[in-house]
Amino acid sequence: MRFSRQYTFSSILECGFCHKTLVRRKCSGGYKYHVDIWQCLGYSRSGKSQCRHSKGIPESTIENAFVEAYNAVVSKDSSFVEEFLQDYEEVLAKGSVKEQLSDMTKKLNAAKSRMNRLADLYMNDAIEKDSYNEQYTPLALETKRLTTIKNQLDLRGAEQGALEQRIKDFKEAIGEGKGKPLDKFSKAVFETCISKVIVGGEDENHQPNPYKLTFVFKNGFKSALGITNDANVVPPEPGIPSDHPEKFVTLKKFNMFWRHTLFMLSGQDERRKIISDFIPVEIVLDLSN
């Protein structure tokens, strides 16, 4: 769980050229009003010298592309989602920490009570200092150990609670019909399905395209697709960094309508401006782990 993420796409968007993360910025250039865009961290800090092909992409464009990607793959087959959710619920059932936390809380409270009683006896001169120190030291160590374990369980409980809420929000977003397509972007669905999004890469003509989007679905979907780690594995394509350890299987490719300006290289230092109506979108499944 990424508790530190300020925005939905924080730490999830990766530059397809230099592999750095993307950062969120406000932009007004070329737009009638301020637009939230995401841009490569290297380009944002150092300019073209760091990542020459990177461009800022509007947040809404990524959201719209995810809706189309989800609908193209997930909503076509209700079993795809049903089996995925079943796997999640099994993990939640096995990973329940409520009973462990309750038991640890009781043990910690009992240890603290013994320490308090021992302190009362010493303050009332009922026991000698040496006896007090002999009994207090192991109790203090035990209390510290139990406190550490309880803090760890509290964190696991918070993570599990966040996951349970996200699954609940996911179910509400897709409705009772598990094959229902999304009609708008859902943070819960995105975070449940996607491990990362690669922004930018080479198109089918091996030209750098800063707006190419590759959605990497989590490997929890592979059982629903009948995919094994040894089946249908393809080497990383342009836009998917070859130095990454993941194995990917391509599920679908399509072009999404989005009119935008694109500068294509026509020489070593020359560029030509073109208006494009579509951006390439690729959906891949992460078979790692």
Interval 208-228: pLDDT, tens? 899 999 999 887 666 555 565
pLDDT of 1 reads 42
pLDDT of 155 reads 81
pLDDT of 69 reads 92
d(CA 273, CA 30): 14
pLDDT of 24 reads 92
Q: Supply 182's token pair.
A: 């999304």
Interval 74-96: pLDDT, tens? 766 556 666 666 666 666 665 56
Cα–Cα distances in angstroms (integers) from residue 96 to residues 61, 158, 164, 220, in the given order = 38, 11, 11, 19
Q: Break the chain into its structural domains and give their ranges.
A: 13-75+184-286, 93-174
Strands 35-40 and 57-58: antiparallel
The residues, ordered by sequence, that sit 6+ positions from 1 with a Cβ below 8 Å of its Cβ are 159, 162, 163
Whole-model pTM: value is 0.67
Lookup result for tokens 């679905």:
217
Q: Supply 24's token pair.
A: 């969120």
Note whether 17 and 200 are within 8 A (CB): yes
pLDDT of 269 reads 60
pLDDT < 50 stretches in the chain = 1-4, 231-236, 238-245
Among 233, 251, 238, 209, CA closest to 287: 233
pLDDT of 266 reads 63
